[in-house]
Amino acid sequence: MSSKRNHHSKQFKLDAINYRNEHPDLTQVECAKNLGIGVSTLAKWESQFRDNNGDIPVRGSGNYQSDDAKEIARLKRELRDAQDALDVLKKAISILGKS
């Protein structure tokens, strides 16, 4: 059984927290249902918001220190992919060479 994970933007997370704060008459469960997210997800975002002085840390392409760091990460991924492809070709050559 595979589960589909949604990756929400930082802005969506901040908007969800603002929605929760702007609707104190709604429970956390009701807010989460209205936003189409899980209660535990909303609770986690609220906790992160409190622990990070009103900000939510996000993983992904936005966490690089500079454009150079982002380019270095891209090149490392590209090099890793090329090395993996080379390893596959080497194995294929050794298998075909034995026959």
**pLDDT tens string 14-26:** 999 999 999 989 9
Contact between 20 and 46 (Cβ < 8 Å): yes
> What would the two tokens of residue 64 be?
């690089």
- pTM of the predicted protein model: 0.55
The predicted-structure confidence for 47-73, as pLDDT tens digits, reads as follows 998 888 888 877 665 566 777 888 888
Q: Please list, residue by residue across 56-89, b when 16 or more beta carbons sit within 10 angstroms of its beta carbon and e when fewer do.
A: beeeeeeeeeeeeeeeeeeeeeeeeeeeeeeeee
